[in-house]
């Protein structure tokens, strides 16, 4: 079991404070206490350019800037908004009928020590194995009180210049309670299939590519693979980070080389992610599908250019298959395991800019 928060509580670099961002993300399944229906949720903490305006939120909606112009302004010079500076807490529900509640706070409400991460005296708080918080925005109320058992940490750190990523827990067991927009949810370790990661730097990877899963079963034997997990994060210089534990075989690499193949395309109202990675004596193939109607878009503004943002289409109900092969002689491959994937977190994104001309 991994419970150390050292990576999550690592101090922000001075260069990041002046011009950069950091995002903490917690994903888990929860069960509606009244209906018994299961849903996937995420809790995000996001801070951008905190030294720029510590006492006041500087934020402008890129799409409002885009829609603001009328015909009388078409030939007038457009003044770009200032770089953003704020702390944001965002809690969302994946899937059909999903909803996101978000609040913006001044950067000086953010405090970080080697024991506690806190925003605004408890609006978001990470301490030991406990994650808690609450917020009210536009009449909608969200609160959470969760305990976390962390496993399978992957802390690669620097991916390329000014880009960093790590997963304090590729497999996390969440337990506790969540109140979300009038509904109460219970979070149970056995069905939470949780995930925690942290992304920070001066820019985002483009295209943005993410897959992760800890809910697997063997197609060959029919057994639940409770100890198996994987995560793929990128794209960094035409490569990505990979962590996989399938049965007792562990494959982990900060930067996958050897010409990995990956892609994301639309197929019949679904997004289809593919990954094929030769890894020493092994080959791992991953195919994941997620209906677009079960996904939603999240936006992250660029730290240096407020008129540019990362738009990510993401969901947590992906399904698919993972195949693990072993090389035996030259180009011959032996299938070691074929895995059915459930509750896959899957994301793909890219840059967006408005046309101000």
Q: Which two tokens stand for residue 266?
A: 């639309």
Distance separating alpha carbons of residues 111 and 118, to the nearest angstrom = 5
Asked whether the beta carbons of 263 and 291 are under 8 A apart, the reply is: no
Burial of 147 (0-12, 13-18, 19+ CB in 10 A): middle
> In degrees, to the nearest 5, what angle opens at C-alpha 306 toward C-alphas 63 and 12?
130
**Residues 195-205: b if buried by 16+ CB within 10 A, e if exposed:** bbbbbbbbbbb
pLDDT value at position 66? 46
pLDDT value at position 280? 81
Q: Which two tokens stand for residue 149?
A: 């058992």
pLDDT value at position 63? 53
Asked whether the beta carbons of 205 and 197 are under 8 A apart, the reply is: no
pLDDT value at position 164? 93
Burial of 60 (0-12, 13-18, 19+ CB in 10 A): middle
Asked whether the beta carbons of 338 and 220 are under 8 A apart, the reply is: yes
Asked whether the beta carbons of 43 and 131 are under 8 A apart, the reply is: yes
Grouping H, G, I as helix, E, B as strand and the rest as coil, residue 60 is: coil
Listing DSSP states for 249-264 in one string gives EEEEESS--S--EEEE
pLDDT value at position 165? 95
Distance separating alpha carbons of residues 103 and 137, to the nearest angstrom = 6
pLDDT value at position 255? 86
Q: Which residue has the tokens 């930067």?
A: 255
The number of residues in the chain equals 357
pLDDT value at position 4? 64
Please give the chain's pLDDT, 357 residues, in tens.
445 688 899 989 998 999 999 999 999 999 999 999 999 999 999 999 999 999 999 987 765 544 444 444 444 445 566 789 999 999 999 876 678 999 999 999 999 999 999 999 999 999 999 999 999 999 999 999 999 999 999 998 889 888 999 999 999 999 999 999 999 999 999 999 999 999 999 999 989 999 999 999 999 999 999 999 999 999 988 889 999 999 889 999 888 876 778 999 999 899 999 999 988 889 999 999 999 999 988 899 889 888 889 999 999 999 999 999 998 877 789 999 999 999 999 999 998 865 544
């Amino acid at each position: 079991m991994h419970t150390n928060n050292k990576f999550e509580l690592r101090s922000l670099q001075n260069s990041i404070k002046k011009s950069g961002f950091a995002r903490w993300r917690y994903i888990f399944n929860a069960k509606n206490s009244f209906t018994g229906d299961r849903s996937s949720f995420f809790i995000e903490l996001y801070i951008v350019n905190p030294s720029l305006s510590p006492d006041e939120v500087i934020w402008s909606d890129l799409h409002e800037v885009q829609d603001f112009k009328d015909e009388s302004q078409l030939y007038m010079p457009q003044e770009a908004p200032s770089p953003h500076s704020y702390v944001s807490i965002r809690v969302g529900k994946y899937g059909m009928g999903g909803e996101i509640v978000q609040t913006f706070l001044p950067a000086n409400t953010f405090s970080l020590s080697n024991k506690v991460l806190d925003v605004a005296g408890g609006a978001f708080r990470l301490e030991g194995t406990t994650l808690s918080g609450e917020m009210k925005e536009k009449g909608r109320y969200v609160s959470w009180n969760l305990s976390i058992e962390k496993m399978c940490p992957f802390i690669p750190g620097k991916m390329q210049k000014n880009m960093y990523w790590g997963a304090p827990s590729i497999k996390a067991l969440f337990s506790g309670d969540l109140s979300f927009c009038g509904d109460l949810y219970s979070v149970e370790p056995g069905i939470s299939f949780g995930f925690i990661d942290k992304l920070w730097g001066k820019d985002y990877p483009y295209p943005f590519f993410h897959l992760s899963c800890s809910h697997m079963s063997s197609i060959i034997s029919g057994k639940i693979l409770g100890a198996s997990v994987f995560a793929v994060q990128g794209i960094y210089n035409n490569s990505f980070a990979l962590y996989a534990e399938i049965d007792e075989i562990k494959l982990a690499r900060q930067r996958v080389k050897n010409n990995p193949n990956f892609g994301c395309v639309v197929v019949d109202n679904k997004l289809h992610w593919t990954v094929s990675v030769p890894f020493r004596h092994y080959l791992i193939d991953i195919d994941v599908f997620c209906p677009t109607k079960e996904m939603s878009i999240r936006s992250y503004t660029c730290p240096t250019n407020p008129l540019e943002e990362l738009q990510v289409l993401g969901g947590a109900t992906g399904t698919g298959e993972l195949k693990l092969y072993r090389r035996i002689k030259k180009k011959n491959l032996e299938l070691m395991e074929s895995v059915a994937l459930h509750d896959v977190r899957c994301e793909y994104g890219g840059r967006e800019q408005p046309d101000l001309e």
